Amino acid sequence: ETGVTQSPTHLIKTRGQQVTLRCSSQSGHNTVSWYQQALGQGPQFIFQYYREEENGRGNFPPRFSGLQFPNYSSELNVNALELDDSALYLCASSLGGSNNSPLHFGNGTRLTVT
Amino acid sequence: RKEVEQDPGPFNVPEGATVAFNCTYSNSASQSFFWYRQDCRKEPKLLMSVYSSGNEDGRFTAQLNRASQYISLLIRDSKLSDSATYLCVVNPSPTNTNAGKSTFGDGTTLTVKP
């Protein structure tokens, strides 16, 4: 069984730039959720994709966008980066798009915006 | 007020001690509950689901109190390897506005000392 993989592991960007983070879901999982985790805080829900459609969104501005592909992998795109976007970005896969299936996380991408 | 609140700790306990964490949630329609463990600079990993009747997994016991809207985690006979941050997760009953949204607490930090 292949777990959730994320790339890149670390990234440094400048304010105003754009970034794309990638995630491959665990085999057999059709749902991908993205979270932002700032230091000392719990993960904050960005959005979830189920069968290539957005299936719920947290309190993040439209410059945070995403995609899910037919193989259930996913991308998180952030435009016009701000210093406060510096955080650990976590991708989690689960099964079925329901709220009862536990999340399985990847190792995360640590983004630093300077 | 945050939707999910945890005592941040830190809890510093000796090996062999019993320690308990609580987590309160504000949405009475919440449907499912989990405890995750997160080691420093790593991704969260599922520790256990929390069932209405309470459930046990080895040294770990989880309880749910729907009337008072809190969940708890009890760790008996603490080991050095239990040192981590423990995150509680609350999932709402799915509707169009919160589909997919898992809400995390900010975590409780546990340090087990020799």
pLDDT tens for B65-80 read 999 999 999 999 999 9
Q: Which residue of B has its CA nearest to A48?
A: B100
* Close Cβ partners of A109 (under 8 Å, ≥ 6 residues apart): A6, A7, A8, A9, A10, A11, A21, A88, A89
Burial-class residue B68 by CB neighbours within 10 Å (0-12, 13-18, 19+): exposed
Please, are residues B92 and B29 in contact by the beta-carbon 8 Å criterion? Answer: yes
Q: Is the dihedral of CA A98, B108, B46, B16 positive or negative?
A: negative
Q: Say which range, A81-85, A102-106, B107-111, has the weakest mean pLDDT.
A: A102-106
Q: Which residues of B touch A30 (CB under 8 A)?
A: none
Q: Does B49 touch chain A (CB under 8 A)?
A: yes
pLDDT of residue A98: 60
Placement of tokens 């009475």 in the chain: B28
* Alpha-carbon span B45 to A49, nearest angstrom: 20
Report which of residues A110 and B94 the model is more confident about: A110
Q: Which residues of B touch A33 (CB under 8 A)?
A: 100, 102
Q: Is the peptide bond before A8 cis (omega within 30 degrees of 0)?
A: yes
Please, are residues B62 and B72 in contact by the beta-carbon 8 Å criterion? Answer: yes
Residue-wise pLDDT tens digits, A58-102 = 999 999 999 999 999 999 999 999 999 999 999 999 887 566 788
* Alpha-carbon span A70 to A90, nearest angstrom: 20
Q: Are strands A10-13 and A109-113 parallel, antiparallel or unpaired?
A: parallel
Q: Which residues of B touch A56 (CB under 8 A)?
A: 97-101
Among B22, B13, B8, B3, which Cα is nearest to B73's?
B22
Average pLDDT value over all residues in chain A = 93
pLDDT of residue B95: 62
Q: Choosing among A99, A101, A111, which should be mutated to test the B contact, i.e. which has the most B CBs within 10 A?
A: A99
